[in-house]
Structure 1
């Protein structure tokens, strides 16, 4: 960086103050900080760089203050442990405030000074709105002299933070907390409890579904995201005369009732509990357990309740719940669950008429601050543990190799180094087997860390006992070591530490385990996750889990790892040591994510999660956060059923697929996945159970899932389904499912015949339902107009024909980088030639910055031609330039999709045959996507 240059540092996807501080501590010769507040949530993120500085002999001075009693005594204690850091505290009084936030770095021939608004807290370093200015200057510069002089003055005025000082400060904070406790209670007035973003989205969607005559819906949202509040908001707007709220466990019942009483204070309704001990069944709003209501439901009339809520709706497939659901006839039924995947045989989606009003996955929950941030540290396991030659499913062998005393000391050492949030550690350790968990608990107990083990075979009383002990701040239990049972359904909100002690063999399990510690809890600010990463062959799966995207490719994963998962929202922090990072990058380079071998492994891992039951349906994959993308299986074998038949060597399925019409229809429907326009599939779904569909009915059906719809697109949809835009080859090979009749569409004879067979029906319906569900997750109910493109979504060239209502043969929509439909111009750009080409030797297509891209036309285009004029004066001539970008044409031998980055306008041009044009984007490209397009990651091997 040039001397004298100034730069503004803000927290954004492009970077944050933490990244800047980490780099600076690693590269400087000395450092000096002066910050008003240091709390442990921020310090934990700087422990590794300070430790590295200590190893290199880099010394530092840190001043903080007692201002507003915000600095943690724990953070001061932790800093004292570093031999390279001198620590002082400015003791403030009522008259003098202490507000400095300055970070000074001394290099061989210059200084770097960062002054701004950020203290050392997780939010200030990563996610708050903060402004910090970085200035680089020579030591003799006037500004630097002033800064150093002022720093030295402060140093003199501050007191040394010795252990005696910290102890006294800690005791004062304890007294302060007790005396001031009442003031710490958040002011909560029922009139001002407003829905968060998730709750608003859910209630809007429920309203929409009801307006189209639907009377059941399911909400899927992570534990702790406020589903009970959401249901109360919806009840408030629905205003039922009588309500029944059914839960699975009694302990959540009172809390649910209190939430409703808080949010519906003036509606004049009475609220009552119906349990073993409470019999307030004449109340307007009755809160009951499934155990109680299943014994006395017949005492109520069938239409007694207008609104029925089933909490933890994943249990709804069990016979007890089915009895209740079959008996009552409410105007509306709402199911709520964090984990829709746990029902054994029934599809829980079917129970709620396949209406998913909302789905919130981990990344969204972090983004909406519905859960607390986590600090993940990926730590390379000790060298003496070698898992490189062991099958990840050979649990006995893995257990044997992990039972090493030296590893216990290493884990404890890291645990003590990184520390945890809050005064007392509350930890879950995930082990490979019961034997491994027993070993861990026994070794931890020997070292005075009070530990117990829990596994699937333990009674619910035993589980509850240990959970209660871990929750109790006065109990000395610190660790529960477990095998798989905490993946789902168990809630210990106060957990502040998670230890991953076994190889990750599937992203879903990893996410479920991580999720155990993300519940909000009073005074809990973050979760510490320590993952001990071995050298087994599936290490890269951690990256898949953390990346949070179900649809990924090699390149985006490599960029995510190299940038420390900059795309993860909020104050969440992901850090992997260099060895783990290199190991994972190398594995990703070597792995072919599209090979049959890899796809089979992914499929079998998913099947294991379903207790070994074959996932016959595509919709099974929608139920898990972190499930594989089954469209990859379809791309391999033309239909999901073909893939399963092949992998399972399943004779019944193979026999089913011998019917040529069924097989061809399945392939035809599957080839449309993932759908980019919902209209066609909504029409087909309606035709599954009706003879024909008119424009009017199609409009009504589409409006159930989309905010708006235009007639031309519905017409185009009818024409597309009628194969109006197929070429002669397609017409020959593809089955005709519909035909025009009386101005609408009717089922063809072939389709009607197939639908009469129950098995065929089930699998065809599955493809259609999956297409619609996935569309709703990715596109929500937004209206995108014509052409129907969503920013930053993936598209193939041919999609542009469909989505712009192109009325000629669609297969002609390919070839050069420019395709045209009237005034809509589609520019398809490849940024690099191929992955393995070290240099980027592309034509002139490249990003200049986040809002400017350079593009070169095909070789024969002149500035004078009509086409040339349309491109260079697009705005004046009413031409829309739509830009589609991909980094590489191919990865792992398969064509890559493009990403739509919106429209742009030509602002500069030069040359002839070809013309080189600079196009300004209407939407500045997001930082993480820009990084992904422009960064090349080479693993060092």
Structure 2
């Protein structure tokens, strides 16, 4: 075997952790030497080390005391493996220890990885690291040198025994105490700048204000810095007086401190307005809602320029409404982790449906606004059989989960995986109150200090036990609970989450996971243990972890099989083999487009909506992990038709019997999800106005996007006027506007009558607002030019006509793999052709790699035609080749969308009718998308 070298870096394409796990699973023995080992990195290798122990594969790990970075907890954990010998190189001031080498002995060769990475979660998964992998024979001089040096270091190092661990752990504890006192003196000199999320929010809020809007809403996960964002926006806006309203007094003081920290040097006076303090002359007043709702009449209506409402999901309550209806500030900002109101409705209307920013869990992880999590999906013990029980039968689920053997198994696993930091601070989610009581009693019998909290407990009781859990000096380490900590409760120091009940909702799963993701001093990751049974809805875990609302059967299977490689940063997801196989099998059997599945998904969401029928599309924006209502629309043409059918709702059916109303719903629903915001912004304005001019339309659109093309606005007017509908499209859809010869758009008589009727208007506005808010979420405020395509977004063929300002019948843009408009060529590719197509007409379209794509023209295209020359010499001829790819034409009977891969340029070509063209892509395809295209499960 020849020596082979490979560079390993942490990127979308892979990371050192994956390489180490693969190499460990293939080797006959292993030898590591690293400067330091942290528990954050070791935890990611525990399952692999356990498997090797079971197979009798032995190894040696050598680390050091260099810079005191090695974690005593990690050393203890390594010592627990019978197959691993552990030594520590004791460093002093003269001698450092920098080695980072991983050696794997195989039957006929060795693999050596040498580079920059120690064993920490960041070094293994996300840091900028360079490691070189070298494979060579035992007789190679290089390998002999490596093994000799390793053996020398091993011989002059110390075995880790109980005495060493006691001394080292004590030393590290003392060192941490010293470092804590040092940090306190440094905080005051630290400059704080907006993070990426805060910067985008401030920019969007400023644009809303510049175009006349007076309200805005920011939706971001707990712990992502919403209070800092509001302070940065205040600094940017420079109001004379602000009112900051919160629901709880302890949050109020923290908010005031945050503003004071960022306002350093600003000549403003801050003050509290609470039950005990009435500093009403302050420029920036921080008040509880309980106090301001009693004393708001003491202030003039225009006294405050800017009002900020924290936990804005409370804004609809009577106390908030009294205050908000009294004041007339220049701007009002709402901030919330979830737009769910306590009465089950959404709060978008209270902020004029102006969502300045929405950051959900996946984005928060990507932008490092929350800490990473290490998720371990563990197959439950054999004695727990949930295969024949309805997942909603809580009493029966509880009965089957109350097994002593299972309690012992859970304890075994929490001890095996461990946790970040010193004291375990754990929330454990149970199936019922009875289950929570049982778990508490059984854990306490086994020597653990635990407690249970439920909805029956008072807020004071809950707060008392939360404080005990957070107190490092208190013995309480686990709170068993039922639902009450799903959302809205902030316990920053939680370092472990146990999921002890079957997952029956991606929404609840994400809420429970989110309870431990807040950043906290000294906390580097969250440990999540999910005990996965054999119930029929296990695959919902995959939907929740996938991080994408828009999924199909194939994309889910690829995510599960690749360990959810699309999850960003140091987050790690590991499903054991049985759980993975069980989930893949369930996904295979499930039809995500069947009415049976859609009804189950709908009614599960209805339960989350406090049992109230979710009549509005906006209801689905309230929760991270909600189903995509577009699937319901595609099933029955409009969302209300779907609801009327599954609910057997006579009142809704009567409403839908109005032909104009039904036509308006179909006209709007057919455009969802919108790929260009212009039309819906125009319609939103026309709901409350009789006409809109071109200039007014342009100004309204600029509230949402950074730039507007003049021709695109005119094209939007023409599209709304049905200029490019064919005769079939015009049937059954209401014409909402009339395009006058003077250039303005007017409401049609039918549309005017619809929005004059409150019963119809609410549903029409809902579709429009849903379309706009979803567009903002997916496309943000960016300008994409003409054609208006965003990389890696989903499109249908007909979308290319709309988004390139095509001025003929748009439905003609279908049925061919190559469509064109002026200098824009659109290449639509199915990677896997339909069965039954003759080999002679199968196209050999495929990814060569992330940068090159092989495409074949239609069979009739030859090199000497104008079209052929435009393709093979596209760059010289000023032709843009836009590539759209989908893996399968349809899945489960539903047509699949194409993914926009971007523009490509012809760099090689051969053959006639068809021409085979090699395209160099202008943008390298991200690894997660590339893997999904090429992976066959």
- Place the TM-score, normalised by the shorter chain, in its bin: over 0.9
Distance 2:449 2:376 in 1: 23
Retained in 2: the 8 A contact 1:634–1:640? yes
Q: Is the 8 A contact 2:344 2:609 kept in 1?
A: no
Corresponding residue for residue 883 of structure 1: 883
Unmatched 5+ stretches in structure 1: none
Deviation at 1:859, TM superposition (A): 0.9
Report if aligned partners of 1:504, 1:538 keep a CA contact under 8 Å in 2: yes
Q: 2:378, 2:530 within 8 Å by CA — same for their partners in 1?
A: yes
Structure 1 position 185, deviation (Å): 4.4
User: Aligned residue for 2:372?
Assistant: 373
For residues 386 and 345 of structure 1, the distance between their equivalents in structure 2, rounded to whole angstroms, comes to 34
* 1:22-41 equivalent positions in 2, closer than 5 A: 22-41=21-40
Q: Is the 8 A contact 1:274 1:287 kept in 2?
A: yes
- Cα distance in 1, alignment partners of residues 345 and 148 from structure 2: 73
Is 1:731 the counterpart of 2:730? The answer is yes
Contact 1:31/1:59 (8 A) holds in 2: yes
Q: How does 1:338-737 map to 2 (within 5 A)?
A: 338-344=337-343, 347-737=346-736
* Cross-structure match for 1:929: 929
Distance 1:416 1:776 in 2: 44
2:160 alignment partner in structure 1: 161
Partners of 1:604 and 1:102 lie apart in 2 by 54
Contact 1:317/1:346, CA 8 A, preserved across alignment:
no
C-alpha displacement of 1:840 = 15
Alpha-carbon distance, 1:695 to partner: 0.7
Q: Distance in 2 between matches of 1:43 and 1:836?
A: 51
Partner SS state of residue 245, structure 1: strand
By how many angstroms is 1:909 displaced?
0.5
Shift of 1:666: 0.5
Indicate whether 1:843 and 2:846 are aligned: no
Aligned to 2:238: 239
Contact persistence 1:80–1:87 (CA under 8 A): yes
Aligned to 1:828: 828
Q: In structure 2, how many angstroms separate the alpha carbons of the residues matched to 1:456 and 1:842?
A: 61
1:216-271: per-residue Cα shift (whole Å, max 9, x none)? Answer: 11111111111111111011111111111111001111111111111112221111
Would the alpha carbon gap of residues 876 and 532 (structure 1) be closer, same or farther in structure 2, given more than 3 Å must change? Answer: same
**Paired residue for 1:60?**
59
Deviation (angstroms), 1:765:
1.1
Q: CA deviation at 1:889?
A: 0.3
Show the counterpart of 2:752.
Answer: 752
**What residue is the counterpart of 1:917 in the other structure?**
917
Cross-structure match for 2:775:
775
Match of 1:263 in 2: 262
Instruction: Quote the Cα distance in structure 1 between the aligned partners of 2:35 and 2:615.
Output: 59
CA contact (8 A) 2:344 2:612 kept: no
Does the 8 Å CA contact 2:316/2:341 hold for their aligned counterparts? no
Q: Is contact 1:190-1:262 (8 Å) kept?
A: no
Residue 934 (structure 2) pairs with residue 904 (structure 1)? no
Kindly state the Cα deviation for residue 731 of structure 1 after the two structures are TM-superposed: 2.8
Task: Name the SS for the 2:493 alignment partner.
Answer: coil
* 2: CA distance, partners of 1:345 / 1:157: 67
Secondary structure of 1:254 counterpart: helix
Kindly provide the CA deviation profile for residues 263-291 of structure 1, in whole angstroms up to 9, marking residues without a partner as x: 11222111111112222111111111111
**1:841, CA displacement in angstroms?**
11
Deviation at 1:28, TM superposition (A): 0.4
Query: How far off its partner does 1:397 sit?
Result: 0.6
Find the aligned partners of 1:515 and 1:120 in 2 and give their Cα distance. Answer: 26
- Report Cα offsets for 1:330-372 as digits up to 9, x if no partner: 1111111111113316531111111111111001111111111
Classify 1:836/1:398 alpha carbon distance in 2 versus 1 (closer, same or farther; 3 Å).
farther
Give the secondary structure class of the aligned counterpart of 1:481.
strand
Distance 2:461 2:771 in 1: 44
User: Displacement, 1:856?
Assistant: 0.5
Query: CA deviation digits over 1:829-848, x for unaligned, max 9?
Result: 000125999x9995210000
TM-score by length of 2: 0.98
Compared CA separation, residues 191 and 38, structure 1 to 2 (3 A): closer
Q: Which runs of 5+ in 2 are unaligned?
A: none
Q: Does residue 1:141 correspond to 2:143, yes or no?
A: no
Residues 339, 621 of structure 2: 8 Å contact kept: no
SS at match of 2:888: coil
Contact 1:317–1:347 (CA under 8 A) maintained in structure 2:
no
Q: CA deviation at 1:716?
A: 0.8
Using the TM superposition, name which of 185-194 and 120-129 deviates more.
Answer: 185-194
Is 1:872 equivalent to 2:872 in the alignment? Answer: yes
Do residues 76 (structure 1) and 57 (structure 2) align? no
In structure 1, the partner of 2:103 is 104
Specify the SS of the correspondent of 2:186.
coil
In the alignment, which residue of structure 2 is the partner of 1:324?
Answer: 323
Check conservation: 1:833, 1:841, Cα contact below 8 A.
no
Q: What is the alpha-carbon distance in structure 1 between the residues aligned to residue 778 and residue 185 of structure 2? A: 36
- CA deviations on 1:885-921 (whole Å, 9 max, x unpaired) are 0000010001100000000000000110111000000
Q: Flag as ranges the 4+ runs of structure 1 deviating above 4 A.
A: 834-837, 839-842
1:484-504 deviation digits (Å, cap 9, x = unpaired): 000011111111110000000
Q: Give the secondary structure class of the aligned counterpart of 1:861.
A: coil
Q: Is the 8 A contact 1:835 1:888 kept in 2?
A: no
1:46 — aligned with what?
A: 45
| Number of positions where the alignment pairs a residue of Structure 1 with one of Structure 2 | 935
For 1:849, what is the secondary structure of its paired residue?
Answer: coil
Partners of 2:74 and 2:485 lie apart in 1 by 31
Within 2, Cα distance between the matches of 1:754 and 1:178? 68
Q: What is the distance in 2 between the residues matched to 1:16 and 1:805?
A: 43
Distance of aligned partners of 1:358 and 1:836 in 2 relative to their CA distance in 1, 3 Å threshold: farther
Task: State the distance in 2 between where 1:417 and 1:459 align.
Answer: 35
Q: Does structure 2 retain, via aligned residues, the 8 Å contact 1:497–1:529?
A: yes
Conserved? CA contact 1:858–1:914, under 8 Å: yes
